[in-house]
Structure 1
Amino acid sequence: MIKGLAHVALTVEDMEKSLHFYTDILGLKHAFQVKDDKGQPWIEYVQTGPRQFIELFHGGKNKHEPVDREIGVHHLCLRVEDVNLVADDLEAKGVSLDVKPKRGKGGNYQCWVRDPDGNKIEFLQPDADSPHMAD
Protein backbone atom coordinates (compact mmCIF):
# COMPACT_ATOMS: atom_id res chain seq x y z
CA MET A 1 0.00 0.00 0.00
CA ILE A 2 2.17 2.89 1.23
CA LYS A 3 5.38 3.20 -0.77
CA GLY A 4 7.05 5.95 1.27
CA LEU A 5 6.82 9.64 2.05
CA ALA A 6 6.03 11.69 -1.06
CA HIS A 7 6.48 15.16 0.43
CA VAL A 8 6.23 17.47 3.39
CA ALA A 9 4.46 20.76 2.65
CA LEU A 10 5.41 24.09 4.23
CA THR A 11 3.99 27.55 3.59
CA VAL A 12 6.78 30.12 3.48
CA GLU A 13 6.86 33.90 3.80
CA ASP A 14 9.83 34.67 1.52
CA MET A 15 10.31 32.11 -1.26
CA GLU A 16 13.69 33.50 -2.31
CA LYS A 17 15.09 33.07 1.20
CA SER A 18 13.53 29.62 1.54
CA LEU A 19 14.85 28.37 -1.80
CA HIS A 20 18.29 29.75 -0.94
CA PHE A 21 18.20 27.88 2.37
CA TYR A 22 17.00 24.54 0.99
CA THR A 23 19.10 24.57 -2.19
CA ASP A 24 22.24 26.65 -1.56
CA ILE A 25 22.64 25.97 2.16
CA LEU A 26 21.30 22.40 2.44
CA GLY A 27 22.38 21.44 -1.09
CA LEU A 28 19.02 20.04 -2.20
CA LYS A 29 17.81 20.34 -5.79
CA HIS A 30 15.01 22.71 -6.85
CA ALA A 31 13.08 20.14 -8.85
CA PHE A 32 10.09 21.96 -10.36
CA GLN A 33 7.34 24.54 -9.89
CA VAL A 34 3.55 24.37 -10.07
CA LYS A 35 1.58 27.49 -11.05
CA ASP A 36 -1.91 28.43 -9.93
CA ASP A 37 -4.93 28.86 -12.22
CA LYS A 38 -3.78 32.41 -13.06
CA GLY A 39 -0.31 31.22 -14.13
CA GLN A 40 1.35 32.61 -11.00
CA PRO A 41 3.93 30.65 -8.96
CA TRP A 42 2.14 28.57 -6.33
CA ILE A 43 4.40 25.71 -5.16
CA GLU A 44 8.14 25.10 -5.47
CA TYR A 45 9.35 21.51 -5.12
CA VAL A 46 12.73 20.73 -3.58
CA GLN A 47 13.90 17.13 -3.98
CA THR A 48 15.22 15.25 -0.93
CA GLY A 49 15.59 11.82 -2.51
CA PRO A 50 14.13 9.61 -5.23
CA ARG A 51 10.47 10.64 -5.55
CA GLN A 52 10.65 12.54 -2.23
CA PHE A 53 10.12 16.28 -1.96
CA ILE A 54 9.59 19.30 0.24
CA GLU A 55 6.73 21.42 -1.10
CA LEU A 56 7.18 25.13 -0.46
CA PHE A 57 3.97 27.14 -0.85
CA HIS A 58 4.18 30.83 -1.75
CA GLY A 59 2.36 33.49 0.25
CA GLY A 60 2.69 32.69 3.93
CA LYS A 61 2.44 35.36 6.58
CA ASN A 62 4.58 34.87 9.68
CA LYS A 63 2.47 34.79 12.84
CA HIS A 64 5.22 36.37 14.97
CA GLU A 65 3.58 34.75 17.98
CA PRO A 66 5.31 31.63 19.31
CA VAL A 67 2.79 29.03 20.41
CA ASP A 68 3.57 25.88 22.37
CA ARG A 69 2.32 22.68 20.78
CA GLU A 70 0.69 24.33 17.79
CA ILE A 71 -1.32 21.87 15.71
CA GLY A 72 0.31 21.17 12.37
CA VAL A 73 3.78 20.26 11.16
CA HIS A 74 6.14 19.96 14.14
CA HIS A 75 9.38 19.49 12.24
CA LEU A 76 11.00 18.07 9.13
CA CYS A 77 13.62 15.35 9.56
CA LEU A 78 16.32 14.61 6.98
CA ARG A 79 18.38 11.42 7.29
CA VAL A 80 22.12 12.03 6.88
CA GLU A 81 25.30 9.93 6.81
CA ASP A 82 27.34 12.06 9.24
CA VAL A 83 25.58 14.58 11.46
CA ASN A 84 28.86 16.23 12.52
CA LEU A 85 29.83 16.95 8.91
CA VAL A 86 26.36 18.37 8.25
CA ALA A 87 26.57 20.58 11.36
CA ASP A 88 30.04 21.84 10.41
CA ASP A 89 28.88 22.59 6.86
CA LEU A 90 25.79 24.46 8.06
CA GLU A 91 27.79 26.56 10.54
CA ALA A 92 30.38 27.34 7.84
CA LYS A 93 27.50 28.68 5.73
CA GLY A 94 26.32 30.92 8.57
CA VAL A 95 23.42 28.80 9.81
CA SER A 96 22.97 28.80 13.59
CA LEU A 97 22.35 25.41 15.14
CA ASP A 98 19.44 25.25 17.59
CA VAL A 99 20.86 21.95 18.88
CA LYS A 100 24.44 20.90 18.23
CA PRO A 101 25.12 17.25 17.35
CA LYS A 102 24.20 14.93 20.18
CA ARG A 103 22.63 11.56 20.81
CA GLY A 104 18.88 12.06 21.10
CA LYS A 105 16.42 10.25 23.33
CA GLY A 106 15.72 7.80 20.49
CA GLY A 107 19.38 6.75 20.55
CA ASN A 108 20.38 8.30 17.21
CA TYR A 109 22.67 11.26 16.58
CA GLN A 110 20.97 14.49 15.59
CA CYS A 111 21.29 18.25 15.27
CA TRP A 112 18.64 20.89 14.68
CA VAL A 113 18.25 24.16 12.75
CA ARG A 114 15.40 26.40 11.60
CA ASP A 115 14.61 27.49 8.07
CA PRO A 116 13.98 31.19 7.25
CA ASP A 117 10.34 30.86 8.42
CA GLY A 118 11.28 29.24 11.73
CA ASN A 119 10.31 25.70 10.73
CA LYS A 120 12.35 23.19 12.72
CA ILE A 121 14.58 20.80 10.80
CA GLU A 122 16.22 17.76 12.36
CA PHE A 123 19.22 16.07 10.75
CA LEU A 124 19.24 12.43 11.86
CA GLN A 125 22.18 10.03 11.71
CA PRO A 126 20.61 6.68 12.61
CA ASP A 127 22.62 3.90 14.20
CA ALA A 128 22.84 0.67 12.19
CA ASP A 129 20.36 -1.02 14.54
CA SER A 130 17.96 1.94 14.61
CA PRO A 131 14.30 1.36 13.73
CA HIS A 132 14.80 4.16 11.17
CA MET A 133 16.93 1.75 9.16
CA ALA A 134 14.36 -1.06 9.00
CA ASP A 135 12.75 -1.81 5.64
Structure 2
Amino acid sequence: MTDIGLTHIALPVSNLERSIKFYSTYAKMRVVHRRIDAETGVAVVWLSDHTRPFVIVLIQTDSVHPILSPLAHLGVGCPSREDIDILCEKARIEGVLLEPPKDSGYPIGYWAFLQDPDGHTLELSYGQEIGHTVENAY
Protein backbone atom coordinates (compact mmCIF):
# COMPACT_ATOMS: atom_id res chain seq x y z
CA MET A 1 0.00 0.00 0.00
CA THR A 2 1.35 3.41 -0.95
CA ASP A 3 1.19 6.18 1.64
CA ILE A 4 -0.75 9.25 0.58
CA GLY A 5 -1.15 12.46 2.56
CA LEU A 6 0.54 13.53 5.78
CA THR A 7 2.29 10.46 7.23
CA HIS A 8 4.82 11.70 9.77
CA ILE A 9 6.71 14.46 11.47
CA ALA A 10 10.40 14.01 12.27
CA LEU A 11 11.96 15.41 15.43
CA PRO A 12 15.60 15.50 16.40
CA VAL A 13 16.13 14.17 19.94
CA SER A 14 19.17 13.96 22.18
CA ASN A 15 18.09 10.79 24.01
CA LEU A 16 15.80 8.31 22.26
CA GLU A 17 14.76 6.37 25.35
CA ARG A 18 13.86 9.52 27.29
CA SER A 19 11.79 10.80 24.36
CA ILE A 20 10.08 7.42 23.88
CA LYS A 21 9.09 7.48 27.57
CA PHE A 22 7.72 11.05 27.26
CA TYR A 23 5.56 10.32 24.19
CA SER A 24 4.44 6.97 25.62
CA THR A 25 3.33 8.66 28.83
CA TYR A 26 1.73 11.83 27.49
CA ALA A 27 0.59 10.88 23.96
CA LYS A 28 -0.05 7.13 24.42
CA MET A 29 2.35 6.38 21.56
CA ARG A 30 4.32 3.16 21.14
CA VAL A 31 7.37 2.16 19.11
CA VAL A 32 6.35 0.60 15.80
CA HIS A 33 9.77 0.71 14.12
CA ARG A 34 13.36 0.97 15.34
CA ARG A 35 16.58 0.91 13.36
CA ILE A 36 20.11 2.16 12.98
CA ASP A 37 20.23 3.96 9.66
CA ALA A 38 22.59 1.98 7.42
CA GLU A 39 23.92 5.07 5.66
CA THR A 40 24.46 7.41 8.63
CA GLY A 41 24.64 5.07 11.64
CA VAL A 42 22.00 7.21 13.37
CA ALA A 43 19.34 5.60 15.60
CA VAL A 44 15.77 6.17 14.39
CA VAL A 45 12.44 5.29 16.02
CA TRP A 46 8.88 5.60 14.75
CA LEU A 47 6.08 6.12 17.31
CA SER A 48 2.37 5.64 16.68
CA ASP A 49 -0.82 5.88 18.73
CA HIS A 50 -2.41 3.34 16.33
CA THR A 51 -5.40 5.62 15.61
CA ARG A 52 -4.35 6.49 12.04
CA PRO A 53 -1.40 5.84 9.71
CA PHE A 54 0.77 8.61 11.17
CA VAL A 55 4.04 8.43 13.11
CA ILE A 56 6.43 10.69 14.93
CA VAL A 57 9.94 9.89 13.74
CA LEU A 58 12.54 10.42 16.44
CA ILE A 59 16.09 10.86 15.14
CA GLN A 60 19.00 10.67 17.57
CA THR A 61 21.28 13.71 17.25
CA ASP A 62 24.13 15.18 19.26
CA SER A 63 22.41 18.54 19.73
CA VAL A 64 18.84 19.71 19.36
CA HIS A 65 17.61 23.19 18.53
CA PRO A 66 13.86 22.85 19.14
CA ILE A 67 11.64 24.53 16.63
CA LEU A 68 8.38 23.07 17.90
CA SER A 69 7.88 25.44 20.76
CA PRO A 70 4.84 27.56 21.44
CA LEU A 71 3.07 28.25 19.27
CA ALA A 72 4.48 25.56 16.98
CA HIS A 73 3.48 22.23 18.57
CA LEU A 74 2.24 18.69 18.16
CA GLY A 75 -1.39 18.26 19.17
CA VAL A 76 -2.90 15.17 20.79
CA GLY A 77 -6.62 14.77 21.40
CA CYS A 78 -7.50 13.24 24.77
CA PRO A 79 -10.69 11.34 25.70
CA SER A 80 -11.70 13.75 28.50
CA ARG A 81 -10.85 16.87 30.47
CA GLU A 82 -10.10 14.60 33.43
CA ASP A 83 -7.44 12.76 31.42
CA ILE A 84 -5.78 16.09 30.63
CA ASP A 85 -5.91 17.10 34.30
CA ILE A 86 -4.29 13.81 35.39
CA LEU A 87 -1.54 14.06 32.75
CA CYS A 88 -0.92 17.73 33.58
CA GLU A 89 -0.53 16.98 37.29
CA LYS A 90 2.04 14.31 36.38
CA ALA A 91 3.73 16.78 34.00
CA ARG A 92 3.80 19.46 36.74
CA ILE A 93 5.46 17.02 39.14
CA GLU A 94 7.99 16.01 36.45
CA GLY A 95 8.69 19.66 35.57
CA VAL A 96 7.45 19.46 31.98
CA LEU A 97 4.19 21.45 32.23
CA LEU A 98 4.54 24.64 30.17
CA GLU A 99 0.97 25.92 30.28
CA PRO A 100 -1.65 24.49 32.66
CA PRO A 101 -5.08 23.40 31.38
CA LYS A 102 -7.28 26.17 30.09
CA ASP A 103 -10.75 26.19 28.54
CA SER A 104 -10.69 28.48 25.51
CA GLY A 105 -14.18 27.57 24.30
CA TYR A 106 -15.09 26.38 20.83
CA PRO A 107 -13.21 25.58 18.58
CA ILE A 108 -10.06 25.47 20.73
CA GLY A 109 -11.50 23.53 23.66
CA TYR A 110 -9.71 22.49 26.82
CA TRP A 111 -5.96 22.38 26.34
CA ALA A 112 -2.50 22.45 27.93
CA PHE A 113 1.11 22.64 26.73
CA LEU A 114 3.87 20.26 27.84
CA GLN A 115 7.56 20.32 26.97
CA ASP A 116 9.28 17.18 25.73
CA PRO A 117 12.83 16.34 26.86
CA ASP A 118 14.36 18.38 24.01
CA GLY A 119 12.15 21.46 24.28
CA HIS A 120 9.53 20.59 21.64
CA THR A 121 5.95 21.41 22.65
CA LEU A 122 3.13 18.88 22.95
CA GLU A 123 -0.44 20.12 23.26
CA LEU A 124 -3.01 17.96 25.03
CA SER A 125 -6.58 18.89 24.08
CA TYR A 126 -10.20 17.91 24.48
CA GLY A 127 -13.11 19.25 22.45
CA GLN A 128 -11.37 20.60 19.36
CA GLU A 129 -13.46 18.41 17.03
CA ILE A 130 -10.81 18.30 14.31
CA GLY A 131 -11.97 14.89 13.04
CA HIS A 132 -15.58 16.09 12.86
CA THR A 133 -14.54 19.29 11.08
CA VAL A 134 -12.47 17.39 8.49
CA GLU A 135 -15.30 14.88 7.85
CA ASN A 136 -17.79 17.67 7.26
CA ALA A 137 -15.49 19.66 4.98
CA TYR A 138 -16.20 17.34 2.04
Number of aligned residue pairs: give it.
127
1:90/1:51 Cα in 2 relative to 1: closer, same or farther (>3 Å)? same
Is 1:101 aligned to residue 67 of structure 2? no
Paired residues for 1:94-133 under 5 Å: 94-95=93-94, 96-104=96-104, 106-127=107-128, 130=129, 133=132
Partners of 2:62 and 2:100 in 1: CA distance: 29
1:18 maps to a residue whose letter is S
- Unpaired runs of at least 5, structure 1: none
- Unpaired runs of at least 5, structure 2: none
The answer to whether the 8 Å contact 2:14/2:62 transfers is: yes
Residues 23-77 of structure 1, C-alpha deviations (whole Å, 9 max, x = no match): 24543211111331258453201102221111101114034xx9xxx69992111
Higher helix share: 2
Partners of 1:116 and 1:71 in 2: CA distance: 12
Which portions of structure 1, spanning 4 or more consecutive aligned residues, are displaced by more than 4 angstroms?
Answer: 70-73
1:43 is paired with a residue whose SS is strand
The answer to whether the 8 Å contact 2:68/2:119 transfers is: no
TM-score, normalising length: structure 1: 0.74
Identity among equivalent positions (%) equals 20
TM-score, normalising length: structure 2: 0.72
Partners of 2:126 and 2:48 in 1: CA distance: 19
Partners of 1:120 and 1:5 in 2: CA distance: 19
Please report how far the alpha carbon of residue 99 of structure 1 lies from its aligned counterpart in structure 2 after TM superposition. 1.5
1:131/1:26 Cα in 2 relative to 1: closer, same or farther (>3 Å)? closer
Partners of 2:17 and 2:123 in 1: CA distance: 22
2:76 is paired with a residue whose SS is strand
